[in-house]
């Protein structure tokens, strides 16, 4: 199985590759449009700001092949911005269009007394359907590492694979045909995170 | 519910852990990577490496430590100590660190916080503040490992004002050390932690003064800290990360077990 990690020139991808290696799956970096051809599964571990990420994907020529990959429903695993960018737009950079695979916007946690932003640390993901293959080997919920100030609000509620409480409940992960995407960082979530990566490989990489 | 984080801190000099680190099951308790793995296995929520070396040669050793840790530990790792520029930060982040911590450099050049936040995102930028009580009933920021008060515009820099400023500049987190409590093992400075935590909208990591498990309960509850950092109580084998978490849970503080 050829696993590719999208490399648009920002952030540290080493930890994502290390985490996949820990579950015995090597990966290559995808930094040019022609790199998509040989792939069986794509991981998009975005970090940083919504608008910057869109701009960098466009500048590196990765935007169009990425959109095509999603339109063809090829196996996709999104982490953090790789989850947020699947939606239409984000409050972080109004006017910038996301990948628009799904309807919905990415919004900021509301300012509330005592609510720290970013949402940083370990929090529970409550599984919408604990029998989903993504959650194999886990219970009804599991604790993962989060660090983000924005989160998507999918218009189609049936996309939700898990939800998390922080100033109310938000959708912290989605599942669709050949697609999983989560707000938290499985590559930083010790055993639970590695279990999810292993499950994702089995579920998406078949 | 978001859990409170327990963060062991390892002081590293020339690629070796300094201060005693007592792991009964480790062959080499001086290797920072082995210690990091041991804390990973204990269920630490994050890890901090504090690089106390002075030369650039030795700093390359730190890059190697971070690279090797990132291959074996799947939790957030912060590197602090001697980081001055955006280029220094990039080096550590590319090696596999998730966050970098700046202290003195941010006081002398506050714009570095803005630059770093815009280059890497605010989630990567931890500003470390060393604070000491003054006779005016507030706290002064200290530099150079707590030896000199920070002076700005001819006045001592106020810790609460400085915390609010770095928050506005784009810091993602504050690592707050009480110079009065540090090393005493008599408990964290609850007033300092509470005041800073209420003055900013970003998480605060309490540091300095941990001597027993009740001290951690106190600072997370009454001190309103979001995380606790500790070195010696873990290194000398007095408590494991698991001991801390079970104790906190008994006191209804949310933790990840």
Domain locations in chain A as residue ranges: 3-204
Per-residue pLDDT tens over the stretch A33-71:
999 999 999 999 977 788 889 999 999 999 999 999 999
The alpha carbon of residue B181 is apart from the nearest alpha carbon of chain A, in Å, by 25
pLDDT at B27: 67
Is some CB atom of chain A closer than 8 A to the CB atom of B3?
Answer: yes
The alpha carbon of residue A27 is apart from the nearest alpha carbon of chain B, in Å, by 14
* Interchain proximity B74–A22, CB inside 8 Å: yes
Q: Which of A19, A116, A190 sits opposite B40 (nearest CB)?
A: A190
Tokens of B73: 């530990």
Q: Which residues of B touch A79 (CB under 8 A)?
A: none
Chain B, residues 25-84, CB within 8 A of chain A, namely: 40, 43, 45, 67, 70-71, 74-76
Measured CA to CA, the distance from residue B144 to residue B52 in angstroms comes to 12
Is the pTM here over 0.90, yes or no?
yes
pLDDT tens for chain B, 257 residues long, are 999 999 999 999 888 888 766 665 666 778 999 999 999 999 999 999 998 876 666 678 899 999 999 999 999 999 998 899 999 999 999 899 999 999 999 999 999 999 999 888 888 999 999 999 999 999 999 998 778 999 999 999 999 999 999 999 999 999 999 999 998 899 999 999 999 999 999 999 999 999 999 999 999 999 999 999 988 888 888 899 999 999 999 999 999 99
Tokens of B42: 């204990």
Q: Which residues of A touch B172 (CB under 8 A)?
A: 118, 120, 147
Q: Number of residue pairs across A and B with CB atoms under 8 Å?
A: 89
Could you count the other beta carbons within 10 Å of the beta carbon of residue A65? 20
Confidence of residue A28 (pLDDT cuts 50, 70, 90): very high
* Interchain proximity A12–B1, CB inside 8 Å: no
Q: Which of B3, B40, B120 sits opposite A121 (nearest CB)?
A: B3
Residues of A at the B interface, defined by Cβ within 8 angstroms = 11-12, 14-15, 18-19, 21-22, 47-49, 111, 115-124, 143, 145-148, 165-166, 187-190, 193-194
Q: Which residues pair with B6 in a beta bridge?
A: B228
DSSP B163: H
**DSSP string covering A17-46:** HHHHHHTT--EEEE-SGGGGTT-SEEEEEE
* Interchain proximity B203–A116, CB inside 8 Å: yes
Residues of A catalogued as catalytic: 80, 185, 187
Could you count the other beta carbons within 10 Å of the beta carbon of residue B108? 11
* Interchain proximity B94–A122, CB inside 8 Å: no
Q: Chain centroid to CA A5: how far?
A: 12
Question: Phi/psi zone of residue B151: left (φ > 0), alpha (ψ -120 to 50 degrees), beta?
Answer: beta
Q: Give me the CATH code for the B5-251 domain, please.
A: 3.20.20.70
A3-204 fold: Rossmann fold (3.40.50)
Of A45, A123, A147, which to mutate for an interface test with B (greatest number of B Cβ within 10 Å)?
A147
Q: Which residues of B touch A193 (CB under 8 A)?
A: 74
* Interchain proximity A123–B3, CB inside 8 Å: yes
Using alpha carbons only, how large is chain B's radius of gyration in Å?
17
What ranges do the domains of chain B cover?
5-251
Per-residue pLDDT tens over the stretch A181-197:
999 999 999 999 999 99
């Amino acid at each position: 199985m050829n696993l590719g990690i999208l490399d648009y020139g920002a952030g540290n991808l080493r930890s994502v590759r290390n985490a996949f290696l820990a579950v015995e799956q090597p990966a290559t970096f995808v930094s040019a449009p022609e790199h998509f051809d040989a792939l069986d599964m794509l991981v998009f571990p975005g970090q940083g700001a919504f608008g910057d990420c869109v701009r960098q994907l466009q500048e590196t020529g990765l935007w169009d092949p990425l959109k095509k990959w999603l339109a063809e429903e090829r196996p996709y695993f999104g982490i953090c911005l790789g989850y947020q960018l699947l939606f239409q737009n984000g409050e972080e950079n109004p006017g910038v269009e996301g990948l628009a695979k799904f309807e919905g916007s990415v919004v900021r946690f509301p300012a509330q007394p005592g609510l720290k932003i970013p949402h940083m640390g370990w929090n529970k993901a409550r599984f919408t359907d604990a029998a989903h293959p993504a959650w194999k080997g886990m219970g009804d919920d599991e604790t993962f590492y989060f660090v983000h100030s924005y989160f998507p609000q999918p218009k189609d509620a049936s996309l939700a694979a898990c939800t998390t409480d922080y100033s109310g409940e938000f959708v912290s992960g989605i599942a669709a045909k050949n697609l999983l995407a989560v707000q938290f960082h499985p590559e930083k979530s010790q055993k639970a995170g590695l279990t999810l990566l292993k499950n994702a490989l089995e579920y998406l990489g078949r | 519910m978001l859990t409170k984080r327990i963060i062991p801190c390892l002081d590293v000099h020339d690629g070796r852990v300094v201060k005693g680190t007592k792991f009964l099951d480790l062959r080499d308790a001086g290797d920072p990577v082995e210690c990091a793995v041991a804390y990973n296995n204990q269920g630490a929520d994050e890890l901090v490496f504090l690089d106390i070396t002075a030369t650039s040669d030795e700093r390359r050793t730190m890059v190697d430590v971070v690279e090797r840790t990132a291959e074996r530990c799947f939790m957030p790792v912060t590197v602090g100590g001697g980081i001055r520029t955006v280029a220094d930060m990039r080096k550590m982040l590319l090696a596999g660190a998730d966050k970098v911590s700046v202290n003195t450099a941010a006081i002398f050049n506050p714009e570095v916080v803005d630059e770093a936040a815009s280059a890497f995102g605010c989630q990567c930028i931890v500003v470390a503040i060393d604070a000491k009580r003054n006779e005016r009933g507030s706290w002064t920021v200290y530099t150079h490992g707590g030896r000199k008060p920070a002076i700005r515009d001819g006045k001592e820099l106020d810790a609460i004002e400085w915390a609010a400023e770095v928050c506005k500049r784009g810091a993602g987190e504050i690592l707050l050390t009480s110079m009065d409590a540090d090393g005493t093992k008599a408990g964290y400075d609850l007033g300092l932690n509470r005041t800073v935590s209420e003055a900013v909208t970003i998480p605060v990591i309490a540091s300095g003064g941990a001597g027993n498990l009740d001290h951690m309960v106190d600072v997370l509850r009454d001190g309103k800290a979001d995380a606790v950092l500790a070195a010696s109580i873990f290194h000398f084998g007095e408590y494991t990360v698991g001991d801390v978490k079970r104790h906190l849970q008994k006191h209804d503080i949310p933790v990840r077990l």
